[in-house]
Structure 1
Amino acid sequence: MNRRDLFRASTAIGATGAVAGLAGALPAAAATTATAAGRPSAPAGSPLRVHIVMFDGVEELDFAAPYEVFSAARFFTGRPVEVRYVTTSRPGFVRASYGSRIEVGHAWAPDEADVIVVPGGGYARREDPGVWAEIRRGTLPRALRAAPREGLTVSALCTGVMLLSAAGLTRGRPCTTHHKARPDLEQQGGVAKNARVVDDGDLVTAGGITSGLELALWLVRRELGADAATGVEAMLEYEARGTVWTR
C-alpha cells in the first residue's frame, strides 16, 4: 500500500469504522451488500468494474471526480472495485481540456465492465478536441451504440451525455445534461428532466461539470450500498447535492 492509500484508509476507518482492517478479514456481514433499490448486489468476490472513457479534450473534473469516488469506495465495501481509464483509440496519452496529459492504458472493452462513465468536454468549442470532435469522428458513438447488454450500466455526465445522444441511447428516455446542451438533447429526442442525476436503470446521466461527484456517489450507493456512499462522502468531506430522479 502506498502512502496516499494508507492516509485514505486511516481516514476511512476514522470516519465510519466500517473497515475492520485493510490487511485482515472483513466481517461476515460484509460478504454481500444490497443496492439502493434493495436488490442483492453481486457476491463480494465479484468486482464492480468501472470504465471511464477518455478522449482528447475531455474535461479534467469530469473524469477525475468519478475516478476518485469509485476508487475511494473500495475502503467501504467488502466487494472489490476496479476502476480504469479506457479509450476507443489506441491506448496512450490523451490531452485534456486544460492541457493535462493523462495516460490511458486500456482499450475499449465494454464486455469487461459493469459501469461505463462517459465524461464531457469541449462542447462550446466545436472546432477543438472534445465532444463535437468525437461525434464527427464517429468511433466513440458507434462503440457506445453497440455496448448495451444485460448487466451493464451506461452513464454519462455533463456534455458527455451528448455522446450518448449521438449514439441514440437517450432517445425517448429520461436524462439530463449540462444546461447549455439541454436544448440539443431535447431536440435529439432525449426526455430531459430537471434533476442533478437521472437514473433510468441501465442509463444514468448527470448534469453539470461538477456532477461527476453526484453521478459516482449515486452509483456507489446503488451498487455498493448506502454505507459505502456515506463513507466516501465523509472521507471526501463532500455531501452529494441536488435531486436524483428515479423511476
Structure 2
Amino acid sequence: MSSVAPTRVAIVSFDGFNELDSFIALGMLNRLRPLGWSAELCGPGHALTSMNGLTVQLQRPLEWANEAEVVLFGSGLYTRAIAENSALLDRLQLDPLRQLIGAQCSGALLLARLGLLGDMPACTDLISKPFVREAGVRVLDEEPFHAQGPVATAGGCLASQYLATWVMLKRAGETATAEALHYVAPVGEKAAYAERLMARVRPFMG
C-alpha cells in the first residue's frame, strides 16, 4: 500500500448541489487519507447551499479542479443554467490525459459542455436524461455506471459509490480499495458490499 500515489480529488459542486452526490464520494475517498489522499469540495465563491438548504463552506476555489488528479462533478438543481454559463465553465481547464474525470447524474451535461465526453455514452438520472440527450449525448437507460478510459459517469444518487470505487481502483488498486470499502460498508455485509461495488467497476478498468 505504500506505493499508492497521493491523490487530490476535487468534488466540484455548485449552488443547489445534491448532497448525496458530493458527500458520499467525498467521504468514501477520504478513507484513503492515510495513503496521502485528499478529497475536497470546490466551487465558485466561498460557500454553497445544497438542494435541501444545507449551507457549507467550500474547501477550495473552482480553479483548484484544474490542478487535482481527480475531478468529480455532482448534480444539482441548477445544472442546466450552469452548463450555459460559459464564463463560469471557462474557468475549468481539465485534461483527461493527466486527470480522472467523472460526473454524477446531471453532471454529465457539464462534461458534455466541456467537450470531455466525445462520442462515449453516458449514465444519468431519469430527470436529467432529456436535456443530456439534447446536448447530443447517448444515454444508457439501464446502466448505473459507465467509463471509457479516464472519463466516467454514474446515474442515480447512490451510484456515487461506483464513481468513488472507480477512482480508488484506478489510483490505489484492489487491496486499498477493498479496505476502504470494508470500512464504510454495513456491518455483516462488508465483504459482499465491497465485492459488489468492485465487480460493477472492474469491466471498465482496461
2:125 aligns with: 178
2:185 aligns with: 237
Q: Does 1:52 align with 2:18?
A: no
Q: Hey, what's the Cα distance between the residues in 2 that align with 1:207 and 1:170?
A: 15
2:162 aligns with: 214
Q: Hey, what's the Cα distance between the residues in 1 that align with 2:96 and 2:156?
A: 27
Q: Hey, what's the Cα distance between the residues in 2 that align with 1:225 and 1:243?
A: 15
CA contact (8 A) 2:42 2:65 kept: no
**TM-superposition CA deviations, 1:186-211 (whole Å, max 9, x none):** 34222333422211112111111111
Q: Hey, what's the Cα distance between the residues in 1 that align with 2:132 and 2:200?
A: 19
1:100 aligns with: 54
Q: Hey, what's the Cα distance between the residues in 2 that align with 1:171 and 1:188?
A: 11
Deviates most, 95-104 or 167-176: 167-176
CA contact (8 A) 2:14 2:48 kept: yes
CA contact (8 A) 1:171 1:188 kept: no
What is the SS of the residue equivalent to 2:33? helix
Question: C-alpha displacement at 1:31, in angstroms?
Answer: 2.8
Greater than 4 Å deviation, 4+ residue runs: none
Change (3 A) 1:236 1:105: closer
Q: Does 1:196 align with 2:147?
A: no
What's the Cα RMSD here?
A: 2.2
Query: Structure 1 counterpart of 2:7, which letter?
Result: L
Q: Does 1:112 align with 2:71?
A: no
Q: Hey, what's the Cα distance between the residues in 1 that align with 2:122 and 2:88?
A: 19
CA contact (8 A) 2:101 2:150 kept: yes
> Which residue among 90, 108, 112 is the counterpart of 1:142?
90
> Which residue among 139, 142, 161 is the counterpart of 2:108?
161
1:84 aligns with: 40
CA contact (8 A) 1:52 1:118 kept: yes
The structure carrying a bigger helix percent of its residues is 2
Residue segments in structure 1 that go unaligned for 5+ positions in a row: 1-29, 34-41, 123-129
Q: Hey, what's the Cα distance between the residues in 1 that align with 2:106 and 2:135?
A: 14
Q: Hey, what's the Cα distance between the residues in 1 that align with 2:14 and 2:23?
A: 13
Question: C-alpha displacement at 1:169, in angstroms?
Answer: 2.2
CA contact (8 A) 2:100 2:167 kept: no
Question: C-alpha displacement at 1:106, in angstroms?
Answer: 1.4
CA contact (8 A) 1:197 1:205 kept: yes
CA contact (8 A) 1:196 1:243 kept: no
- Identity over aligned pairs, percent: 22
Q: Does 1:31 align with 2:12?
A: no
Question: C-alpha displacement at 1:149, in angstroms?
Answer: 4.8
Q: Does 1:72 align with 2:72?
A: no
Q: Hey, what's the Cα distance between the residues in 1 that align with 2:91 and 2:118?
A: 17
**TM-superposition CA deviations, 1:84-108 (whole Å, max 9, x none):** 2111x23x11111101111013112
Q: Hey, what's the Cα distance between the residues in 1 that align with 2:65 and 2:74?
A: 16
When normalised by structure 1's length, the TM-score is: 0.70
Deviates most, 106-115 or 202-211: 106-115
Residue segments in structure 2 that go unaligned for 5+ positions in a row: 187-192
Question: C-alpha displacement at 1:136, in angstroms?
Answer: 3.4
